[in-house]
Structure 1
Amino acid sequence: MVALDLSSADYVIVGGGTAGLVVACRLSEDPTTQVIILESGQDHSNDPQVQNHQAWSTLTGSELDWRLETTPQPGFNNRKIEYPLGKIVGGSSAINGSAFLPPSPAGINTWAKLGNPNWTWESLAPYIKKSYTLHPPDDQHRPHSLPTGPIQVTYPALVDHQDKTLVRAWNDAFADQGYEYISDLLAEKQTVGTRPYTAAIDPVSGHRSSADSQYGSILRGRANVTIVTGATVRRIVFDSADQTATATGVEVQWSEQIREIKARKEIILAAGAIHTPKILELSGIGDEARLRDLQIPLVINNPSVGENLQNHVMSVLPVPMKPHSEIQDITPGIKALSFVRLDSDLQTLLDPAQPTSSILQSPSEASACLFLTTLPGNIALLGVLPGYPSSRGNTHIHSSDPDATPAIDPRFLENEVDLQILVRHVQQAQKMTATAALEPFLHALPESDSATLAKELRESMALPTYHSCGTAAMLPREAGGVVGQDLKVYGTENVRVVDASVFPVISHANPMATVYAVAERASDIIKS
């Protein structure tokens, strides 16, 4: 690959992660367009540990992780929580568990209702499809209309006979409770029901299919793109003589030097939901009082930068497995999903003022995802992940030093509604272990009373999921927005955000597929 002149490019992309590589890939389709990607981490595309999707738990806490942690969380009995984020080309898509779950139509249409009429399910769905290629199991007919995008998506638990046996029992158990099986990955009619587990895994190599291995492999063959690793952006540089806040470039630390890289067209922030607001604040875009206290010259006063931090909270229940000839050598991993509701309880719990309430009131929309995972040693894990939390946190800088880590306060379970929904879904999961379909395979769990369970969840059972989003929200400015529908930062001429920071409301499950879709659409918005 021929290196560009690293003093300038048409587009300077901050972050070579899940979103940044997508946007770089699409913008560089025009060979006359020059793109520089600045990534703090290194290129580990040939690292067997990164390629092995089953080794993801060994990557968190390693040198490939930013190794951040939260402030003490009152909702978790003041526990500090580790906060993994990928510090690597490919970002978190290169170190996460590879689950690939598209957002729900109701969730995306809520983005439109909150002041983004151009961002509906109808407008985003083509970009979801543009990002992936689906590989159905060998025993299922492959429709001709399946998407054919870079990310390879497979059904890991629908290959082995023993996996199929347990998945069938899972589906039967939920069918008896009124939950039908949904084979459509997009689940456009409804999210409620059982689904096969889908993951970003290449069906040929068996390797992780990440932004790096797919979009990155395309970029490495283009002479008009340079990926600069070990390059940490310190701030965006604005033309002080220009009252319209036009960015001229970025200040970056690279090879123990600080230099400026010019952008002839745009600065594109793809640093993720924690580092994107950090860079904005270091650049003078944020709350005026906070920046004044840190002696950072104000460029744009917007107190919403770093606010609206959203994340899922889950719980995982260990379930002893019974000896059974049909599953005695079952491989470890996630096996099955079920998206479920709390119809009778939801109406009494929900706050009508919360934007998530309208989503959960839809009878076709699930309020939680239950999932089954097998481990070595005849142990299963029954996971519970409520989909649309009401709690909102924030992340902010507390120093003008670009090397200082930001303060991360997700405020897990701050809203009592989130705790009560989690309690009820955990009780629902406990009951499922005693169903006739699962009884041959799992030992039934005792049912916990609500007060005891709420206490145990706060003390230790409640866990974070690392699905950070929302900290540079796409909303009207007066409603807490940081970017508009064109993803431009309010008050700037040429700074955009294309990562999970822009989500007004979190997606109902793992956000990776939504990040790919938003980045795909952002690319077309920028081109236009």
Structure 2
Amino acid sequence: MDDYADFVVVGGGSAGCVMASRLSENGKYSVCLLEAGPADRNMWIHIPIGYGKTMFNPRLNWGFYTDPDHNMLDRRIYWPRGKTLGGSSSINGLIYIRGQKEDYDHWAQLGNPGWGWEDCLPYFRKLENNDLGPGPTHGTDGPLNATSIPTRHELVDALIGAANSLGVPTSKDFNTGDQRGAGYYQLTTRNGRRCSSAVAYLNPARHRPNLRIETEAQAMRVLFRGTKASAIQYRQHGKIKTINARREVILCAGALQSPQLLQLSGVGNASLLKQFNIPVVHELKGVGENLQDHLQFRLIYEVSKPITTNDLLRSWTGKAKMGLQWALLRGGPLAIGINQGAIFCNALSDTDPRPDVQFHFGTLSADMAGGKVHDFSGCTFSVCQLRPESRGHLRIRSTDPFEAPAMQPNYLDTERDRRTAIAGVRLTRGLADAQPMQSLMKGEIKPGRDVQTDDDILHFCRENGATIFHPSGTAKMGQEDDPMAVVDHRLRVYGVQGLRVVDASIMPTLVSGNTNVPVIMIAERAAAFALEEAGTEDGSIVSTAAAANAESPAHEHAVAARLQQNQAQACNESGALQMT
């Protein structure tokens, strides 16, 4: 028998959980969510510090590797990606960051109406329950918790003081649109547990009879009738299945797998598709191009006092203390994660007034993120360039949907990126050498003080640089006359019908910070777009006259508010819609 849903959402990650929840919310439309990984039942998903346990778990993590990057001494860089409900929001570092006001204004300037900061802000407020309280830039009624770190740490306080001595002010809120400052991050936690998009959005929606969640269901390709996306072919428990979409197929598979699915399905660069004898449904040369990521450099220091998480993890008594703090009080290091300290500032002194680097400061040290901690008291300064100029690409290797695509990040490919890397390392040393931090630093372990010249520092960056887990941009949002644009400003794929992309791949340029919260905002907006367009077709949500004005930012703000009212009303009027 044929299998149908109104909306088929591919990928149960940061964006997919939002889409499944919002599209099924009013009870009018049937929604099927396909997730390649298992349900999010592993306990280490829900303990904030547990991502050290999920970083290399093949059951929960795709564990991708890039192609050898000639800019990185031909190294293949490990790229973890979530493979479970919640996606990467179930295995990430929990940092709650939106980015800078100018990031979104730049998107609008590039020809994407309605994506400026003031346009996106209502959706940022809608998605969050922020313990800073309601205000012009914050909301308290949303499903995603933004939680301030409740206890202070001597090392983080010293970091803030060192930043102050270098002219960086203290900040208690990095999410107002102006990030400059030093302070403590907010985290996506709730009562000492991880608040992933699955926890925030999917769990409250699971009971809905019009929402169907399929795990262990890996999408293989989009099926088309002409140029209309009509179905998804997927594999589940060894069987090949098809789910048909009455209204839309929505790709939320992430910046690596959404473009891979497009290419496998005949949407992409014709010359690439012809190499594999894939029939071209529509040529879009930008699919898989414009790949961007934040490259981090981790400087490790030995600490002069036994106050680090390394010290707690080295002894059974320390581990027992941490466990009891979490079990009894939902507090302590297990409830916080690894990176607590934040700095957004300038490493390069040029004409751009915006912060150009971000620090993640951890009160522990290891050779790599998620690795075994060192046997000394240690801390880690991780610095990354916020707006890299380098661009890479992603391309299928074969017609096999289960073979990882070729990923070439092209890190440090521009002179500015290389200068920022060197300046970032020097700035890190300046922080470590400034009081009150200096008195807590016993010595620089990595790279070591013998690394001094620009050439030596750049070599260290090439030899040790790693992703900070933010690949983006591979299905770029832009105007139709932009040869690299893949989706329009409502995230509809150009040249075809019934197909939308909703994840970090649509970012024209990488946001200045962590990508999880921006992706959730993108999904909130996309759900509003999809519901509005569906309502226009059946007359149940918005009128045709209102739809004619839908391109204006002011109209989109009104729609966001009206949808919440109409969805509740529609749920009462229409009842539950069973899946076919």
Q: Is the 8 A contact 2:181 2:344 kept in 1?
A: yes
Contact in 2 for aligned 1:9/1:264 (Cα 8 Å): yes
TM-score calculated relative to the size of structure 2: 0.81
Counterparts of 1:517 and 1:307, CA distance in 2: 23
**Closer, same or farther: CA 448–371 of 1 in aligned 2, 3 Å:** farther
Q: Is the 8 A contact 1:430 1:444 kept in 2?
A: no
- Determine the structure 2 residue equivalent to 1:99: 95
Equivalent position to 2:140, from 147, 150, 154: 147
How many Å separate the matches in 2 of 1:442 and 1:458?
25
Report if aligned partners of 1:288, 1:298 keep a CA contact under 8 Å in 2: yes
TM-score, normalised on structure 1? 0.89
Three-state SS of the structure 1 residue aligned to 2:176 is: coil
Q: 2:515 aligns with which of 511, 516, 522?
A: 511
* Pair 1:333-2:338 in alignment: yes
Q: Distance in 2 between matches of 1:69 and 1:108?
A: 30
Q: Deviations over 1:193-252 (max 9, x none)?
A: 1131111111x2x11110111111012121110011111111111113xxxx11111112
Task: Report the CA distance shift for 1:325/1:265 in structure 2 as closer, same or farther (over 3 A).
Answer: closer
Q: Which runs of 5+ in 2 are unaligned?
A: 313-331, 365-372, 533-580
Name the CA distance, whole Å, in 1 between partners of 2:435 and 2:253.
Answer: 48
Q: Structure 2 matches for 1:442-481, cutoff 5 A?
A: 442-443=441-442, 445=444, 446=449, 448-459=452-463, 461-479=464-482, 480-481=484-485
Give how far 1:61 is off.
Answer: 2.2
Indicate conservation of the 8 Å contact 2:128/2:139, yes or no.
Answer: no
Shift of 1:385: 1.2
1:423 paired residue number: 422
1:111 to partner: Cα distance: 0.7
SS at match of 1:335: strand
Matched residue, 1:20: 16
1:55 aligns with 2:37: no
- Determine if contact 1:324/1:440 at 8 Å carries over to the other structure: no
Instruction: Compute the displacement of 1:324 (Å).
Output: 7.2
> Which residue of the other structure, out of 165, 168, 173, is the alignment partner of 1:184?
173
> Deviation digits for residues 174-195 of structure 1, max 9, x if unmatched?
122221122224132x222113
Higher helix share: 2
Q: Deviations over 1:238-282 (max 9, x none)?
A: 113xxxx11111112223222221111111110000110011011
Cα shift readout 1:476-508 (whole Å, capped 9, x = no counterpart): 233210000010000112100111110001111
| Superposition map of 1:8-87 within 5 A | 8-44=4-40, 46-62=41-57, 63-87=59-83
Q: Which residue of 2 aligns with 1:208?
A: 194
Q: Distance in 1 between matches of 2:116 and 2:77?
A: 34
By how many angstroms is 1:444 displaced? 5.7
Show the counterpart of 1:235.
221
Does structure 2 retain, via aligned residues, the 8 Å contact 1:249–1:263?
Answer: yes
Which residue pairs with 2:545 in the alignment?
none
The residue that corresponds to 2:435 in the other structure is: 436
Distance 1:239 1:292, change over 3 A: same
> Residue 290 of structure 1 aligns to a residue in which SS?
helix
Q: CA deviation at 1:325?
A: 8.1
C-alpha displacement of 1:300 = 0.2
Within the alignment, does 1:199 sit opposite 2:199 as a pair? no
Indicate the SS of the match to 2:34.
strand
- CA offset digits 1:326-359 (Å, max 9, x no partner): 9997957323111111353x35xxxxxxxxxxxx
Of 207-216 and 369-378, more deviation after overlay is shown by 369-378
Of 269, 272, 288, 1:306 maps to 288
Who is 2:506 aligned against?
502
Query: Could you tell me which amino acid in structure 2 is paired with residue 524 of structure 1?
Result: A
Mapped to 2, the partners of 1:430 and 1:133 lie a distance apart of 36
Distance 1:27 1:308 in 2: 29
Letter in 1 for 2:29: T
- Aligned AA (1:34): S
Unaligned runs of 5+ in 1: 137-141, 348-360
Number of aligned positions between the proteins: 490
Candidates 84, 89, 99, aligned match of 1:88: 84
Q: Report SS of the residue matched to 1:106.
A: helix
- Give the AA of the match of 2:165: D
Q: Using a 3 Å threshold, how does the CA distance of structure 1 residues 226 and 325 change in structure 2: closer, same or farther?
A: closer
Shift of 1:86: 0.9
- Once residues 155 and 233 of structure 2 are traced to their aligned partners in structure 1, the CA distance between those partners, rounded to angstroms, is 54
Matches within 5 A, 1:145-184: 146-156=139-149, 158-160=150-152, 163=153, 165-184=154-173
Which amino acid counterpart does residue 145 of structure 2 have in structure 1?
Q
- Deviation at residue 135 of structure 1 after TM alignment: 2.4
| Aligned residues of 1:22 and 1:519 also touching (Cα < 8 A) | yes
- Of residues 477, 486, 501, the one that matches 2:490 is 486
Could you tell me how far 1:133 is from its partner in structure 2? Answer: 1.3
Contact 1:12 1:36 in 2 (8 A): yes
Amino acid in structure 2 at the alignment position of 1:229: T
Q: Distance in 1 between matches of 2:477 and 2:216?
A: 30
Aligned to 1:354: none
Amino acid corresponding to residue 12 of structure 1 in structure 2: V
Tell whether the 8 Å contact from 2:78 to 2:466 is kept in structure 1 after alignment. no
- Is the alpha carbon distance of 1:179 and 1:501 closer, same or farther for their aligned partners in structure 2, counting shifts above 3 Å? same
Q: Please name the residue that 1:522 is paired with.
A: 526
Maintained 8 Å contact 1:434/1:444: no
Query: In the alignment, is the contact (CA less than 8 A) between 1:154 and 1:199 conserved in 2?
Result: yes
1:314–1:462 contact (8 Å) kept in structure 2: yes
| Alpha-carbon distance in 1 for matches of 2:356, 2:37 | 36
1:225 has 2:217 as partner: no
User: 1:143: how far off?
Assistant: 5.2
For the Cα contact (< 8 Å) 2:359–2:383, is it kept in 1?
A: yes
2:390–2:414 contact (8 Å) kept in structure 1: yes
When the two chains are superposed, the root-mean-square deviation of aligned CA atoms in Å is 2.0
